[in-house]
Amino acid sequence: MAKIIPFKAVRPTQDKVGLVTCRNYEDYSAAELAAWLNFNPYSFLHIINPAYANVQSISWDKRFKGVALKYKDFKNENIFIQEEEAVFYLYEIQTKTQSFTGIIAGTSVEDYQANRIKKHEDTLQYRVEMFKDYLHQTRFNTEPVLITYPDSNELNTWIQIKKKNRPLNQFSTTNKEKHTLWRIDTQNDIDWLEDHFETIPNLYIADGHHRSASAELLFEQDKDLNNPNLNYFMSFLIPESNVKIYEFNRIIRDLNGFSKEDFLEKIAENFEIISKEQELWKPQNKGEFGMYLDGIFYTLKYKKEIDNTSIKQQLDAQILYDTVLQPILEIGDLRNDERIAYISGKQSIISIKEKVDEGEFAVGFMLFPSNIEEIKAFADNDLIMPPKSTYIEPKFRSGLVVYEL
């Protein structure tokens, strides 16, 4: 059974919410970051980058303490307010092409430990430790874990009814997204939602494996403080059918000493190679790959029979690794090898062409995106997908809802 709880969230005042919230700070270029910090005094970027001018010259400990102090300043200036009672939220994100609606709630560390909240990605211990230290110092989190639940007609109907109510917040952003937030605060609704999720045996992490692992680590470290908020971490729960899964395409800096002709000959051992000339071609099915090499796009069709008895061997990212990246290009560590980089499938493949044409990279590979069933199969069998197998939306706005620890 999945346990979710309402919580006393901290959030921007209604008149400032559109000014406060921001994308993940890593999404901003240096120029964008400077512009937002210089011209928008309400941006949450001021909290997560409290010393942006010299951020590289201060220790993580000092930076985390600066984040905590700046957050207190925002609260003291009444830019943020706290709910008087524990509530749930409905949150809708409308992009140019898609709409996402989910529930903001606290999810259980105990469920995570018991594998009722299932994982499909590995984590880097140093990142888990760092974010745990961040949470310990700042005592708040505004980046929920994206979690999927099985589609439910009953829950979908309930959500559609609640969305007819007057929203708590509604605002648009400069990237032309529309954001709407509803408060779920009546006891009947809270009880109904909690009871409904207790009928769900398992939830699945779509995005945020490091955040959930850090929450568990913080719970183990600070559980003697008897702080009930540590027993949960903030999540954005969304139906399986409503997530958007993109691939991560691969670009490689060199051909590992092979000439173009020899490289194509090695590729041909496992793939049928079809030249697409200048056509911006992307894979249309599983088992197909795109390749851009020396000004030409290619279709690569896997010639061998896929091992349907192995969940891992059916994954396109694994096939590419086993047939090209590791044996031919000798790239073993997909996380740390500096010869490989990744571009999400959300970006145009023109970006791959440009990087190869500029000479920084020698070849690019385009993959067909995974689906939610593949992700669940890995999670259900306690398997780990290769690094950078998926890029998943929606992405949550930092500073919209804050979970205090």
Read off the pLDDT of residues 175-203 as tens digits, 9 standing for 90 and up.
899 999 999 999 999 999 999 999 999 99
Residue 308, pLDDT score: 76
Determine the residue type at 127: R
- 383, with CB counted inside 10 A (0-12, 13-18, 19+), is middle
Q: What does the pLDDT read at residue 60?
A: 84
- Alpha-carbon radius of gyration of the chain: 23
Position 298: which residue type? Y
Cα distance between the two ends of the chain:
24
Contact (CB, 8 A) for 93 and 177: yes
| CB distance 135 to 398 below 8 Å | no
More confidently predicted of 57 and 275 = 275
Instruction: Tell me if 267 sits within 8 A of 278, measured CB to CB.
Output: no
Percent of the chain residues topping a pLDDT of 70: 98
Residue 25 or 122, more confident: 122
Domains along the sequence of the chain with CATH: 4-245+393-404 (3.90.1530.10), 248-368 (3.30.1760)
User: In sequence order, what are the beta bridge partners of 340?
Assistant: 252
Q: Which residues pair with 227 in a beta bridge?
A: none
Asked whether the predicted pLDDT for residue 55 surpasses 60, the reply is: no
Question: How confident is residue 57, by pLDDT bands cut at 50, 70 and 90?
Answer: low
pLDDT mean across residues, the chain: 94
With H, G, I as helix, E, B as strand and everything else as coil, classify residue 40.
Answer: coil
Backbone angles phi, psi at 361, to 5 degrees: -130, 155
3-state secondary structure of 64: helix
Are 392 and 80 spatial neighbours (Cβ–Cβ below 8 Å)? no
Task: List the one residue out of 334, 344, 335, 341 whose CA is nearest residue 393.
Answer: 344
CB atoms within 10 A of CB 190: 19
Query: Is the CB of residue 391 less than 8 Å from the CB of residue 346?
Result: yes
CB 108 within 8 A of CB 121: no
| CA angle in degrees (0–180, nearest 5) for 26-315-380 | 85
Arithmetic mean of pLDDT, 100-109: 98
Asked whether 142 and 402 are in contact (CB, 8 A), the reply is yes
Interatomic CA distance for residues 331 and 185, integer angstroms: 52
Of 181, 113, 107, 90, give the one whose Cα is nearest residue 145.
Answer: 107
pLDDT at 88 over 90: yes
What are the tens digits of pLDDT across the range 285-337?
A: 999 999 999 999 999 999 988 777 789 889 999 999 999 999 999 999 998 89
